[in-house]
Amino acid sequence: MTLITDGGSTKCDWVLLDAMGEVIFKTTTPGLNPTVVNKEELHSRILQNKSLKEVFHKIKTLDFYGAGCGTVTPRNILKIVLSSLFPFAEVTVSEDLAAAVFAVTNEPGIVCILGTGSNSCYFDGKEIHAPIPALGYALMDEASGNYFGKRLIRDYYYNRMPANIASEFSLQHNLKADSIKMKLYTEPNPTAYLASFAQFIFSQEQINPYFYQLIKDGILNFMECRILSFENAHQVPVHFIGSIAHFSKDIIADCFKDNNLILGNIVQRPIDGLVEHYKRNILA
């Protein structure tokens, strides 16, 4: 049996496939980003899932595609954790960009992730090229959930948020400075914590002018740093993966039209496309 995982910072989607590529079960765990969650917590989050626990000793292949797995050290940390729980599995840990590419295209194009964090790469039809490393929420992650969460908190404290929106924001979230600092600087997974504030934007039935401009600024920032940096950005389609991309698709389309970019597919959850990729190309 083959277990594949799309691992984000907020949550991870797991799918168990039989030898023919048919789905045996799907399950979800909390996020498993090894750059912001320590080894003990990674182990605990997997161990608490009953469906996974039942197949620890039955899995032969485990392919994990994860946020924070773009460099060697975090990949190795996660591989050690997974190998200890799935002792008979051949474990492979790859960056989440690979899953994003498999989920949206077989042709050359730029593939972007806008979820809890953000990233991009160029796919030439065979190989993935990611010349700019993803350095996380403190330095990068433009137009991601944690980026918008951070913007909301900053605007609230700097009095840049319209009064009626600020009032509603304070009702929905604990905005006490002490609570924010403790969550950010002493607890695991600050990226997911910041991204939780972004739900305030994307849960609205209508996007008001303040939210529209906030999202547009983020998309344009991402576009400048993560799309236009590719020489052929105007010649190939640009695809998106992730919940932020899904809920921002109309604003992304507006930004692309203004900048003469080709908008490709926008997929909220890559796991379904990843399953199809395994059926067609890996287990066929």
Residue-wise pLDDT for 213-248, tens only, equals 999 999 999 999 999 999 999 999 999 999 999 999
pLDDT (tens digit per residue) in 15-35: 999 988 899 999 999 999 999
Sheet holding 237-241, edge to edge: 128-129, 118-123, 109-114, 237-241, 262-267
pLDDT beyond 90 at 100: yes
The distance of Cα 252 from the centroid of its chain, to the nearest Å, equals 17
* pLDDT (tens digit per residue) in 154-182: 999 999 999 999 999 999 999 999 999 99
The Cα 7–Cα 32 span in angstroms is 6
Query: What is the average pLDDT score of the chain?
Result: 95
The rounded percent of the chain whose pLDDT value lies above 70 is: 100
17 Cβ neighbours under 8 A, 6+ residues apart: 1, 2, 3, 4, 23, 24, 275, 278, 279, 283
Going by pLDDT thresholds of 50, 70 and 90, the confidence category of residue 281 is confident
As a whole number, mean pLDDT of residues 249-278 equals 94
37 and 190 Cβ atoms separated by less than 8 Å: no
Q: What tens digit of pLDDT does each residue of 262-276 get?
A: 999 999 989 989 999
User: Which among 201, 211, 188, 198 has a CA at the least distance from the CA of 9?
Assistant: 188
Grade residue 206 by pLDDT with cuts at 50, 70 and 90. confident
Q: What is the predicted pLDDT for the residue at 283?
A: 86
Which of 152, 154, 151, 94 has the alpha carbon at shortest distance from 119?
94
Who contacts 102 (Cβ-Cβ below 8 Å, separation ≥6)? 270, 273, 274, 277
pLDDT at residue 205 tops 90: no
* pLDDT at site 149: 98
What average pLDDT does range 79-89 have in this prediction? 97
- Residue 103: its pLDDT value, please? 92
Paired sense of beta strands 11-17 and 2-7, if any: antiparallel
Q: What is the DSSP string of 103-115?
A: HH-SSSEEEEEES
Sheet with 23-30: strands ordered across:
23-30, 11-17, 2-7, 61-66, 90-95
CA distances from 5 to 20, 134, 170 (A): 18, 20, 36
Mean pLDDT of 91-111: 95
pLDDT in tens, 30-78: 999 999 899 999 999 999 999 999 999 999 999 999 999 989 999 999 9
* Token output for 91: 């474990």
Mean pLDDT of 95-113: 95
Tell me how far apart the alpha carbons of residues 86 and 52 are, in angstroms, rounded to a whole number.
Answer: 9
**HEC string of 146-211?**
HHHHHHHHHHHHCCCCCHHHHHHHHHHCCCCHHHHHHHHHCCCCHHHHHHHHHHHHHCCCCCCHHH
Q: Which residues pair with 39 in a beta bridge?
A: none
- Give the model's confidence band at 113: pLDDT under 50 very low, under 70 low, under 90 confident, else very high: very high
- Residue that the structure tokens 């529209």 belong to: 212
Which amino acid, one-letter code, is at 209?
A: P
Distance (Å, whole) CA 127 – CA 123: 6
> Which CATH class for the 2-100+271-282 domain?
alpha beta
Residue 284 has pLDDT above 80, yes or no: no
Euclidean distance between CA atoms 92 and 232, whole angstroms: 31
* Look-up of token digits 């403190």: 138
Query: Residue 105 — pLDDT band, cuts 50, 70, 90?
Result: very high
Q: What is the CA radius of gyration of the chain?
A: 19
